[in-house]
C-alpha cells in the first residue's frame, strides 16, 4: 500500500474541501450558509491549490508567507474569473462555482504529480552543499498583516455587494397605472384620479396618453424616481369612459401599461 506524501495529503484535503463548499453553496439559499461556505472558495482554496501546484514541498514559499500568497492568489483568481465570466455573459452563481472548482481541480492535478517525492527529499541543487534548508518563517510583518486584512475586507465587501446586486437583478420591474372615479363609489362622477407608480429600478421619464370620451388624445410626460407615485385629477362628462396608456418617453411605441375606466352600463 502506497503512503501518501504530505503534499499529496494537503492537495487531497483541498479538493475535498472545495467539493464540499461548492456542493453546499450550489444547493442552499440561506445567506449565512452562503457566506460560511462561499468565503473559503473566494479567499483561500483556489489560491492554496495554485501555491501547492507551483511549490508542493514548500521550498520557496513557506509558513505564514505561504498562507498570505494563498489568500492573494485566490483573490486574483476570483477577480480574473469574474471578469472572464462577465465578458462571456455567464457571471452566475453556478458558473462561478464551476470555474472555482475547475481551477482547484486543474492545479490539484499538477500539484499531485509534482508532490510525489516524499517530504525531506529536496531537489538537487536546492540548497548549497553543507547548508541546511531554510526554516519556515514564523512571523509576519505588520504591513503584510494589514494588506491581508485589507484584502479580506475588500472581497467580503464585494461578496455583500454581489448579493445585493443579485437581489436587485432578480426583482420584478414594472410601471403600475390606475384610474379611479372620484368619489370611488360614484361611477357617474365628473372627476377621476389617474395614478402612476414607477417600479422600474431607476428614474424614468414616462409618456402618458389620455383619451377622455370622444375627445382627442392628450399627452404629457412625468419624471418619476424608482418607487415614486404620481396622481392627477381628470375631468369628464358624467360616466364618460377614459383610456390611458403609459410608455417610456425614449421608447414611445413600447406600452408599459394600459388602463381603462369604462362607461357604466
Cβ atoms of 234 and 256 closer than 8 Å: no
User: Residue 253 has which C-alpha cell?
Assistant: 411605441
pLDDT on residue 221:
93
Query: In this predicted structure, which of 89-93, 128-132, 224-228 has the lowest mean pLDDT?
Result: 128-132
Spell out where the chain has E strands: 174-182, 191-199, 204-212, 217-224, 229-235, 242-248, 251-261
In the prediction, which pLDDT does 122 show?
47
Report, as an integer, the average pLDDT of 199-226.
90
Q: Residue 19 contacts by C-beta under 8 Å, 6 or more apart in sequence?
A: 101
Structure pTM?
A: 0.45
Mean pLDDT of 152-162: 58
Supply the pLDDT for residue 236: 92
- For the stretch 13-65, pLDDT in tens is 888 888 888 888 888 777 788 788 888 888 888 888 888 888 877 777 777 77
Instruction: Name which residue leads in pLDDT, 183 or 57.
Output: 183
Look at 98 and 126; give whichever has higher pLDDT: 98
Over the stretch 122-152, which tens digit does the pLDDT of each residue have? 444 444 445 454 444 444 456 555 655 665 5
CA–CA distance, 190 with 177 (Å, rounded to integer): 20
Amino acid at each position: 500500500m502506497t503512503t501518501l506524501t504530505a503534499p499529496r495529503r494537503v492537495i487531497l484535503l483541498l479538493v475535498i474541501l472545495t467539493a464540499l463548499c461548492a456542493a453546499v453553496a450550489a444547493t442552499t439559499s440561506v445567506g449565512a450558509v452562503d457566506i460560511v461556505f462561499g468565503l473559503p472558495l473566494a479567499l483561500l482554496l483556489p489560491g492554496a491549490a495554485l501555491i501547492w501546484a507551483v511549490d508542493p514541498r514548500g521550498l520557496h514559499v513557506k509558513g505564514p508567507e505561504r498562507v498570505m500568497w494563498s489568500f492573494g492568489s485566490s483573490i486574483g483568481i476570483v477577480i480574473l474569473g469574474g471578469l472572464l465570466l462577465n465578458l462571456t455573459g455567464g457571471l452566475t452563481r453556478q458558473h462561478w462555482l464551476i470555474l472555482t472548482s475547475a481551477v482547484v481541480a486543474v492545479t490539484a492535478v499538477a500539484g499531485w504529480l509534482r508532490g510525489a517525492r516524499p517530504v525531506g527529499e529536496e531537489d538537487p541543487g536546492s540548497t548549497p552543499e553543507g547548508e541546511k534548508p531554510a526554516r519556515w518563517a514564523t512571523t509576519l510583518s505588520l504591513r503584510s498583516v494589514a494588506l491581508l486584512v485589507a484584502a479580506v475586507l475588500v472581497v467580503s465587501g464585494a461578496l455583500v455587494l454581489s448579493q445585493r446586486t443579485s437581489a436587485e437583478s432578480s426583482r420584478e420591474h414594472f410601471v403600475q397605472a390606475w384610474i379611479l372615479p372620484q368619489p370611488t363609489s360614484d361611477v357617474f362622477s365628473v372627476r377621476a384620479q389617474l395614478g402612476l407608480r414607477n417600479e422600474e429600478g431607476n428614474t424614468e421619464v414616462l409618456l402618458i396618453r389620455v383619451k377622455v370620451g370622444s375627445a382627442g388624445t392628450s399627452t404629457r410626460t412625468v419624471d418619476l424616481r424608482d418607487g415614486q407615485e404620481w396622481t392627477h385629477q381628470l375631468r369628464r362628462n358624467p360616466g364618460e369612459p377614459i383610456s390611458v396608456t403609459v410608455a417610456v418617453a425614449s421608447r414611445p411605441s413600447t406600452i408599459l401599461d394600459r388602463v381603462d375606466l369604462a362607461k357604466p352600463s
